Amino acid sequence: MHRTHNCGELRIQHVGTKVTLAGWVQRVRNKGGLIWVDLRDRYGLTQLIFEEGSTAKELLEKAASLGREFVIKSTGTVIERTSKNDKIPTGDIEVKVEELEVLNPAKIPPFLIEDDTDGGDDLRMKYRYLDLRRNVVRQKLQLRHRMMQETRKYMDGQDFIEVETPVLIKSTPEGARDFVVPSRVNPGEFYALPQSPQTFKQLLMVSGFDRYFQIVKCFRDEDLRADRQPEFTQIDCEMSFVTQEDVLSMFEGLTRHLFKQVKGIELEEVGRMTYADAMRLYGNDKPDLRFDMQFVELNDLAKGKGFGIFDQAELVVGICAKGAASYTRKQLDELTDWVKRPQIGAKGLVYVKFNEDGSLKSTVDKFYSQDDLGQWAEAFRAEPGDLMLVLSGDAKTVRKQLSELRLKMGEDLGLRDRSVFKPLWVVDFPLLEWDEETNRYHAMHHPFTSPKAEDIPLLDTDPGSVRANAYDLVINGVEIGGGSIRIHDRTTQQLMFKHLGFTEEEAQKQFGFLMEAFEYGAPPHGGIAFGFDRLCAIFGGSDSIRDYIAFPKNNSGRDVMIDSPSPISKDQLEELSIKLDVKAD
């Protein structure tokens, strides 16, 4: 081998040992007759020393010619450093070099390979293989590796079998857009890349596997953002002969295991909240519970006082920001401008300051007396020093707007501590949601989610009120995992397809294989899928999942390093029986 030790393992007890190290040159400090070289590899950094008088002239000159990111091999003796560095594990020693070999010189990199780099996002994405040399990025991928191993350890300990499912499957109309792959041997026909292995894991339950899991790559052709990539990884799981409670207990166990083994944290009790309560109290089906600020509805107190904006609104609702009455007029104007942005869409913002002297100051003093505002404060459970913020409008819209404002206030007031973890199970989701564009119901999760047995009669009379046997795991306002108890009989599955607008022919064409499988003894079953990239980002304290993926895409879905996607040749198109008709922008 090119080395006897790595660059992170030498300690004071190795003094006097002859060693060979190999790695990348982090930096060279040349003081004329004294040269230090910081040598780096995946495991750490070791200082090499070349000293005039005790180092051969040729070797000294060779060391002076080294540049950043040169790949070198050096042999020498470990000595104790006279000036020690307590910031690195190898800081008590250095290697006095006797032999030096340049294994590969390097061009000057386009950005500093340092934790605090001077490279922007686009540049680092283009040279991702260089970005991966940085400690901060490598540590994120090491965290991902650890979480993957601990997941497998837990699942194996619970008798789950890891089974790989196909990557080339059939396109289905529900959910996000599919990525499609043309078939050369079946001209005019296409495979789809899986958005999830949903039907396959259900078929594995029909097959009697009982407990399945897979750390699997999934694909969705949808708009991208910080927590979304066109290809992503799921911890995909399914169990037979279980109720919802069994699934929640099992995967709360996985979550606790990961926090304890990877972060050394004993997770507190995981709370439960219905979807209806989450929307009512937080305007969001993935509430961040690291801080309070629950919604307070003010219709009974705010309407009928002559303030037209409130009188005409379907809902008047607000939050109380503890200790924020000190906000200046400028800060409040900035908040008002913020909620008026197109991304939020509010028409305005009403505030009430609960001053330290007990008085109440509001933007609507003209319409509401101190007694009126005092009733508001009582509803908010506000105290002197607090700030009440109120929005109004269409109920669904205003709850969404206030949810965004709540999250902003939590951030601005320092309440979203990344070292605090507040997990929550959100349960009893609606089975169906109405889509204004298509003028029909769609499955909120997917078409195979089981309705609550007691709600099935409502499918014919009030479909929007039917609750699903579905659940999401939320941590700090991020949906980490979601799943459901599945439909396991043909009759109920056909009923579900009917209410989703499928004709019998369409249902048979798309999912006939699954419904037929249900007729061969399908057990009751259910499962969950965790967004593995998001879970890694939560553990690493990041908003973006990109740094937890070795070679991610940018916001346009492009890999700028390898320049993909890219055109293919005319010969390839002909072989695939594809004719392009691309319209110019």
Residue ranges for the binding site for ATP? 220-222, 229, 479, 531-534
Please state, as a whole number, how many other Cβ atoms lie within 10 Å of the Cβ of residue 127. 17
User: Among residues 144, 129, 198, which one has the least CA distance to residue 169?
Assistant: 198
**Phi and psi (nearest 5°) for 273?**
-150, 135
Helix, strand counts (H, E) of the chain: 17, 22
Give start and end residues of each alpha helix (H) in 238-369.
Answer: 244-258, 275-282, 299-302, 308-311, 329-340
Burial annotation 181-191 (CB, 10 A radius, 16+ → b, else e): ebeeeeeeebb
> In angstroms, rounded to a whole number, what is the distance separating the alpha carbons of residues 260 and 436?
45
Please give the C-alpha separations between residue 545 and each of 140, 232, 272, 317, 496, in angstroms, as whole numbers: 10, 9, 26, 33, 35
> In angstroms, rounded to a whole number, what is the distance separating the alpha carbons of residues 306 and 415?
36
Residue list for the binding site for L-aspartate:
174, 220, 445, 486
Contact 215, 233 (CB under 8 A): yes
**Residues with Cβ < 8 Å from 397, sequence gap 6 or more?**
345
**Phi and psi (nearest 5°) for 49?**
-130, 135
Contact 19, 5 (CB under 8 A): yes
- Concatenated DSSP letters of 140-185: HHHHHHHHHHHHHHHHHHTT-EE----SSB---SSSSBPPEEE-SS
Tokens of 6: 């790595």
Contact 90, 46 (CB under 8 A): yes
> In angstroms, rounded to a whole number, what is the distance separating the alpha carbons of residues 393 and 315?
6
Residue list for the binding site:
174, 220-222, 229, 445, 479, 486, 531-534
Please state, as a whole number, how many other Cβ atoms lie within 10 Å of the Cβ of residue 135. 15
> In angstroms, rounded to a whole number, what is the distance separating the alpha carbons of residues 555 and 198?
27
Output 28-36 pairs: Cβ under 8 A, ≥24 positions apart. Answer: 28/63, 28/64, 28/66, 28/67, 28/68, 30/64, 33/60, 35/60, 35/63, 35/64, 36/94
Quick one: which H or E segment has residue 63? helix 57-64
Contact 129, 135 (CB under 8 A): no
Contact 529, 234 (CB under 8 A): yes
Beta strand 478-485 pairing with 525-531: antiparallel
**Phi and psi (nearest 5°) for 392?**
-150, 160
